[in-house]
A and B are shown apart, each in its own frame.
Chain A
Amino acid sequence: MREQEKWQALQEILLRSRCTDDAEFKDVVLAYNEGVSREARRLHEEAIVIDCCTAGLENANWMTEASGVTAMSVTVPDVYNPNAGAAIRNLANIHWVVHRSPDKMMLVDAVEDIITAKKQGKTGIIRSAQHVDFMLHRDLEGAVEVFQRAGFRIIALACDERSFAADGCLAGTDGGLTRQGKALIRAMEANGVTVDLSRVGERSFFDALSICSKPVVCSNSNPRALFPHPANLTDDQMRACIRVGGVICLTANPALLWDGKQLPTIDRYLDAIEHTAGTVGIDAVAIGTGLPAQPGGWERHGALSLFTGSGGREYPGPQGAPYLSMFDAGWGVEAAGVKGMGSIACFPYLTHCLTARGFSEDDIKKMLGNNLLRVFRETWR
């Protein structure tokens, strides 16, 4: 096959596994959970499990059921748009999710709600934004008050691209935090919104941490020491993050688990977890899969641009994108994701693999949710 044909085949795999509720993909994903030990299953059921980065949730579905996730941070689309209208309509859509599945889903506005979700066996929905331009206003404090009231609890200062507040990690300029960005952080801390520094450019990242007085999250990043991609975090960044009590949420994004040699499997994901725990301690490790929460829920236009645009072929990084290698290895319907962690449905399998790596029960519970719970307790109000 020519390379061009491989990318086309990959594109079809992506559309099948992300934009349709593909039966084969479902079988493959759920099969991983069959190997979960009884002990790991009990541990997973007991734990408060928080995924700090998901997208596309529409209702309770086989993925959310299988995942056993207590609360997930759902990223609200269209927050890049400086007209907040799009963001607020999309936020209302997330309320709609609860209207559709009232027995299985609930909104999370406070830490107490996460505890309630656990008790009632529901999935809690935390609303988050991965960009800030929708909030731009002369009075940023007023803006943050309004959007906090509306339900946003975690907001990233920028994601890949530049925002009015900070440079994104793929902006290529490594600019610093702006004056408005400083005001924004102060307003977020004052109003109970967690600052997310994943995917922020390095200089802006350090600038932001120098003025943060509360813990932050990095909702979806991996260690750059293992996987040299600008969206990943250097060990120095991680150390700066824990100085304010922050946590780093490791992400199951194949492009961010790729060193040009070993294919992105759940083993590599565990390597990322282990490296982070070794560098900054277990109390700073959490999970932010970056995975879709809805079978077939990925917006087609976005999926179509992924392997022809910034997400796939042209995704920057010294090793290029891992997808061709995954395709060549015969991963088939799994070739668009991390093998073994291609869906949030694989969460029990992740817990199983963590026990297999020798992490203690307490440490696993911390990483699965308790560490994030602590940050939310210290940053929400």
Chain B
Amino acid sequence: MEKSEREKWQDIQDILMRVYCSDDQEHKRVVLSYNEGVSPEARRLHEEAIVIDGCTGWLHRANWITDAAGVTAINLTIPAVFDNDPGNALRETIHMHEIVHRSPDKMMLIHTVEDIYTAKRTGKTGIIYAAQHPDFLLHRNLDASLEVYQRIGLRVLQIAYNNRSFAADGSRTYSDDGMTSQGRGLIRAMESAGVTVDLSHVGSKSCVEAMDMCTKPMVYSHSNPRSLFPHPRNITDEQIRLCARAGGVIGVAGYPEIMWDGQMLPSVERYVDIMCYIVDMVGIDHVGIGTDLPAEAGAHDRQEAWDIGEGYTGKDSPNPHGSPYKYTYEAGWGIETIDIRGLNSLANIPNLIEHMLRRGFSREDVRKVMGLNFLRVFQQTWK
């Protein structure tokens, strides 16, 4: 007898908990098996290239995922920035130092572009302090506030998440309002303190207004084209063009729900399609990667894992085609149900490079997309 919808979602949630909240051995085997097909040429390129992931989260220490990923620097999104209590955010900031204390030979904090080169040279993974909502640093004097957070390491700040912030509208508020006057103050303060403006997750109107006032390049750390995948979280072609015109970079997001058009299930090939779409529109200099994948198996916050499957990404997805999880589940993907096939994990970065080469990206172009484009923006926006 076929399972009911409810039972299917229960199964999906079980898989999600296994993949996000435990170091599941079956998942690990599947992930690593995709890297077995990586050619020596792709491997060499991976070893040489500066790889910067525009968006990851959930990291406690060096682990098999960061080892296999070989990423030079990750934008590590700190949790607890959604309320307006800086205390919680500060605890998470201290936690970043804890990661380095636990893995001093493999991890380091990134404060300058020079540090990224050092990470590459010493074979470490650099941690860039990034936040996906600004409410924790709200202060009557945003210049002073940004100075303090820049000192403690903040380098990339998204001006709103799905929900509305004091600065801008989120992409899932369905109100599409503009930037507040405090939001304008925030952008000025970020640019002068040396913090990169990130517009992923931000509502379209706020994004356009923000880009209009930015005097430096901005990033969409993890967003996909809405014309391919009609999800409110994704960005319009106009946003992509404005970002490129300002010298910015769009990090292609490796999140199944926002790379789902109701037809082709999420795969590494599809991920490369998105890169090609943006390259064709604005050129190779404005594309990066923002995998949005966990940096450690089992490190995900459990409550948030429940929220994802049972809530906004799973059952309640605003994607007009529904959540891809249901379809991957029905297609029998098993432990890969919540994954992008071939880019199941950050550990599959070598396989992503393999697929870019297969698609005809030159070595130089791979280097740009995998890291040099973000590096350029950091050079122009950090102090």
Contact = CB atoms under 8 A, between A and B. Distances in A.
A145 B97 contact: yes
A92 B141 contact: yes
Interface string A69-90: 0000000000000011110110
B151 A92 contact: no
A149 interface: yes
A89 B151 CA distance: 14
Given A85-B85, A95-B148, A151-B148, A146 B143 contact: no
Contacts of B136: 85
Task: Tell me which of A138, A141, A150 has the highest count of chain B C-beta atoms within 10 A of its own C-beta.
Answer: A150
Given A84-B87, A150-B151, A139 B101 contact: yes
B118 interface: no
Contacts of A138: 98
Contacts of A151: 148, 151
Interface stretch (B67-75, B88-96, B330-338): B88-96
Contacts of B95: 139, 142
A86 B85 CA distance: 9
B144 to A, nearest CB: 4
A359 interface: no
Nearest to A97: B144
Interface string A134-156: 00011101110111011100000
A99 B143 contact: yes
B71 to A, nearest CB: 22
Contact of A83 (B85, B101, B143, B147): B85
B109 to A, nearest CB: 9
What secondary structure prevails in chain B residues at the interface with A?
A: helix
Nearest to B136: A85
A91 B85 contact: no
A137 B95 CA distance: 9
Task: Tell me which of A93, A137, A142 has the highest count of chain B C-beta atoms within 10 A of its own C-beta.
Answer: A142
Contacts of B151: 149-151
B94 A137 contact: yes
A267 to B, nearest CB: 41
Interface in A134-180: 137-139, 141-143, 145-147, 149-151
B153 interface: yes
Given A84-B86, A95-B144, A96-B141, A150 B94 contact: no
A313 B343 CA distance: 70
A150 to B, nearest CB: 5
Given A85-B90, A142-B97, A150 B152 contact: yes
Given A85-B86, A96-B141, A143 B94 contact: yes
A85 B98 contact: no
Contact of A84 (B90, B139, B145): B90
B141 A146 contact: no
B98 A146 contact: no
Given A83-B85, A149-B152, A139 B94 contact: yes
Contacts of B101: 139, 141-142
B187 to A, nearest CB: 17
A146 B87 contact: no
A96 to B, nearest CB: 4
A83 B87 CA distance: 5
B144 A93 contact: yes
A279 B87 CA distance: 43
Interface size class of A (residues with CB under 8 A): 20 to 34
Given A84-B87, A84-B90, A139 B97 contact: yes
A95 B90 contact: no
A146 B97 contact: yes
Contacts of B98: 138-139, 142
Nearest to A137: B94
B133 to A, nearest CB: 15
B236 to A, nearest CB: 36
A381 to B, nearest CB: 15
Contacts of B89: 85
Contacts of A139: 94-95, 97-98, 101
Given A93-B141, A137-B91, A138-B98, A146 B86 contact: no
Nearest to B83: A85
Given A84-B86, A85-B85, A146 B148 contact: no
Nearest to B97: A142
Given A84-B90, A143-B94, A96 B144 contact: yes
B152 to A, nearest CB: 5
Contacts of B148: 88, 91-92, 95, 150-151
Contacts of A142: 94-98, 101
Interface string B141-160: 10111011001110000000
A84 to B, nearest CB: 4
Interface in B47-89: 85-89
Contacts of A96: 141, 143-144
Interface in B113-139: 136, 139
Contact of A146 (B85, B93, B147): B93
A142 B145 CA distance: 21
Nearest to B98: A139
A96 B139 CA distance: 11
Contact of A99 (B90, B91, B141): B141
A146 B90 contact: yes
Nearest to A140: B94
Contacts of B143: 95-96, 99
B147 A92 contact: yes
A147 B98 CA distance: 14
Contacts of B97: 139, 141-143, 145-146
Contacts of B144: 92-96, 99
Contact of B141 (A88, A95, A141, A147): A95
A89 B94 contact: no
B111 to A, nearest CB: 9
A92 B145 contact: yes
A146 B152 contact: yes
Contacts of A92: 139, 141, 144-145, 147-148
21 contacts: A85-B87, A85-B89, A85-B136, A88-B87, A89-B145, A91-B148, A93-B141, A94-B144, A95-B141, A95-B144, A99-B141, A99-B143, A139-B97, A141-B97, A143-B94, A143-B97, A146-B90, A146-B97, A146-B152, A150-B148, A150-B152
Given A85-B87, A85-B136, A95-B144, 16 more contacts: A85-B85, A85-B86, A85-B89, A88-B90, A92-B147, A94-B144, A95-B148, A96-B144, A137-B91, A138-B98, A141-B97, A142-B95, A142-B98, A147-B152, A149-B151, A149-B153
Interface of A: 83-86, 88-89, 91-96, 99, 137-139, 141-143, 145-147, 149-151
6 tightest Cβ-Cβ pairs between the two chains A and B:
A142-B97, A85-B87, A95-B144, A83-B87, A85-B86, A92-B144
